[in-house]
Amino acid sequence: MAAKTSYDVVIIGGGFAGVTAARDLQKRGLSTIVLEARDRLGGRTFYEERNGFHVELGGTWIHWTQPFVWAEKERYGLEVQETPGCVAERIAIKMDGTVQDLQEAQLGEFVEGFERFFAESKGVWERPYDIHHCWDAVCERDGMSVADRLHALDLTPLQRTSIGGFLEILSMNQPQNASYVEMMRTWSLTGWNYPLFNDTAARYKFTKGTGALVEAISRDGGFEVALNTPVRSVQHSSDGVRVTTESGEQLMAQRAVVTVPLNVLHSVEFEPPLSELKLEASKLKHVGGGCKVFFEVEGDPGAVMTLSRSTDSPLIGSFTYKRGEKHSVLAGFSLEPDALEKSVAEWQLVLEEFIPGIKLLSTFGHDWGGDDLSRGSWCTYRPGTVARFTDELPRQEGHLFFASGDHAQGWRGFIEGAIASGSRTAVQVAETLSA
C-alpha cells in the first residue's frame, strides 16, 4: 500500500532496472515509489536458501567488463567470490555420443572455434553499445540464427559441440532460435577474447548474493516501495500518469518508468496503447527460456565443467558452484521444459555420464518460464528482430519511460544492462522534470 496518492515518479517493477532508477531519481529530490508485484525486490535475481544452500536462482555472475554493476559493487564495498567450475580442472564434453575430457593439446582447437565463429564481430559490433555505428553490417546479418552461422562454417566436432553448447547456454535456446548478431554483441563486449568471455559468463558472483546489492541500492536510495502490488493498467496524458493496481488502488505521478520484463509487458493495459512495435515485440517474446537447475551432490566433485548440445543431452552445461567436503552444488542449464520436474534418478543418469561416480542427492531451481512475472529467463532476441526492436523498446511515449535489462544497449540480457538502463532512464526522466 502506498503512503501517498501522488508522486513525482512511479516505477513499475522492482528488479535491478527499477531499483536503480528509483534510487537515482529519489536522490535527485524527486518523490519516487516502486510498485512491485512480487513479495520481494530483485526480479529475475533471487538469492535464496534452498535445501540448506544459499544459491542464486536467477541472475548471478558479474564482471569488471560490465561497468555499471562493477561500479555498484565498488560503491557499496561488496565482495565477490569465484565459481570453481568456471576455472575448471576438468572440462567434460559430450560429442558424437560419448563424453570426453578436453585435453590440454585440444585447447587451441577449442578457442580457435570461437574465434572463427565470431570472426565477423569486429565489423558488426566495433562499438557494442552503438548499434548504429555498423548499422548496415547488423542489418545484413540480422536474419541469421546461430544455427545458420554454424552451418556456414567447416568446424571440427569439438568446435561444433563446444560453441553449440556454450551458445545454447548464452541464449537459453536452440541455435535456430537465437540471433547470431546478438551473440556477436556479447563476444564484442568482452574484447573479442575467449578467456574474458568465459570469465564474464560465470566466474564472479556476489559473496552475499545479488540480494545484498538490491538491499544496498534500496537503503541508499530511500525511495518508497510497495510490494505485492501488481499494476493492472496505466493511463497517461499531457497532465501526467495514473497507475491502477490489481486491487484497484490508484496513484498519480508526473512520470512513470515501466520496467516489467519484455515478455510480460503486453499483460499491462496502457491507455493510449503502447506503440505497435513494442506490443509486437512483447507478444512475440524474446526466446531466453530453459532452466537453471541446481544439483546437490555427495562429497566434492572437484572444479568441473560439462558441456553438450541439447540434441545430445538434457544437460547443456553445468559447473561446480560450491564445493564442500560432505556436499557440493553444481549449477546446470537445460532446455528441457520439464527440467525441474525430472526425478533425482533421471538426473543421476544424466550427470554420471559426465562425472562418473557422482551421487546426486537433490535438485532445485525456479521456473522462470512458468513465472507470470517473467515468462522467460534472460533476454535473447530472435533472428530478424534486432534492428527493428533495439531503438523502439526503450523509446519514451509521452510521460512513460522504459527501462529494462531486456532492451538495454550494450549488456542487454544481463544484470549490467538492467542497472545501466535504469540509471540512464533516471537521468532522462529527471531532465524532463527540471526543464
Ligand X SMILES: Cc1cc2nc3c(=O)[nH]c(=O)nc-3n(C[C@H](O)[C@H](O)[C@H](O)COP(=O)(O)OP(=O)(O)OC[C@H]3O[C@@H](n4cnc5c(N)ncnc54)[C@H](O)[C@@H]3O)c2cc1C
Taking CB under 6 A as the rule, does residue 138 contact ligand X?
A: no
Taking CB under 6 A as the rule, does residue 221 contact ligand X?
A: no
Amino acid present at 157 = P
Between β-strands 317-322 and 327-334, what pairing exists: parallel, antiparallel or unpaired?
antiparallel
Is residue 65 within 8 Å of residue 412, measured between CB atoms? no
Name the one residue in this structure whose C-alpha cell is 526492436: 389
What CA–CA distance (Å, rounded) separates 263 from 373? 9
Rounded least distance, CB 340 to ligand X, Å: 11
Return the range that interacts with ligand X (CB under 6 A); candidates 13-21, 73-81, 83-91, 118-126.
Answer: 13-21
Total residues at interface with ligand X (CB under 6 A): 39
Window 232 to 261, contacts with ligand X (CB under 6 A): 259-261
Return the range that interacts with ligand X (CB under 6 A); candidates 183-191, 236-244, 279-287, 374-382.
Answer: 374-382
Which CA distances in Å does 46 have to 59, 211, 400?
7, 7, 27
Rounded least distance, CB 62 to ligand X, Å: 6
Return the range that interacts with ligand X (CB under 6 A); candidates 16-24, 147-155, 178-186, 300-308.
Answer: 16-24
Exactly one of 7, 16, 118, 223 binds ligand X (CB under 6 A); which one?
Answer: 16
Rounded least distance, CB 105 to ligand X, Å: 31
Nearer to ligand X, 159 or 259 (CB): 259
Is residue 264 within 8 Å of residue 282, measured between CB atoms? yes
Which CA distances in Å does 166 have to 146, 169, 175, 182, 185?
11, 5, 10, 14, 15
| Cell representation of residue 429 | 526522466
What CA–CA distance (Å, rounded) separates 180 from 147? 8
Nearer to ligand X, 141 or 412 (CB): 412
Taking CB under 6 A as the rule, does residue 45 contact ligand X?
A: yes
What CA–CA distance (Å, rounded) separates 188 from 127? 8
Window 396 to 415, contacts with ligand X (CB under 6 A): 404-406, 413-415
Nearer to ligand X, 45 or 385 (CB): 45
Exactly one of 231, 256, 257, 351 binds ligand X (CB under 6 A); which one?
Answer: 231
Nearer to ligand X, 159 or 245 (CB): 245
| Residues with Cβ within 8 Å of residue 178, at least 6 apart in sequence | 145, 146, 167, 168, 171, 287, 380, 382, 383
Taking CB under 6 A as the rule, does residue 15 contact ligand X?
A: yes
Rounded least distance, CB 138 to ligand X, Å: 21
Is residue 15 within 8 Å of residue 22, measured between CB atoms? no
Please calculate the CA angle 194-199-205 and round it to the nearest 5 degrees: 165
Taking CB under 6 A as the rule, does residue 335 contact ligand X?
A: no
Say what angle helices 194-202 and 107-117 make with each other, to 10 degrees: 90
Phi and psi based region of residue 35 (left: phi greater than 0; alpha: psi -120 to 50; beta: remaining): beta
Is residue 220 within 8 Å of residue 104, measured between CB atoms? no
Exactly one of 8, 24, 36, 224 binds ligand X (CB under 6 A); which one?
Answer: 36
Nearer to ligand X, 339 or 418 (CB): 418
Window 285 to 314, contacts with ligand X (CB under 6 A): 292
Taking CB under 6 A as the rule, does residue 374 contact ligand X?
A: yes
Taking CB under 6 A as the rule, does residue 43 contact ligand X?
A: yes
Taking CB under 6 A as the rule, does residue 2 contact ligand X?
A: no
Q: Contact residues for ligand X (CB under 6 A)?
A: 12-18, 35-38, 43-45, 58-61, 230-231, 259-261, 264, 268, 292, 368, 373-374, 377-378, 404-406, 413-416, 418
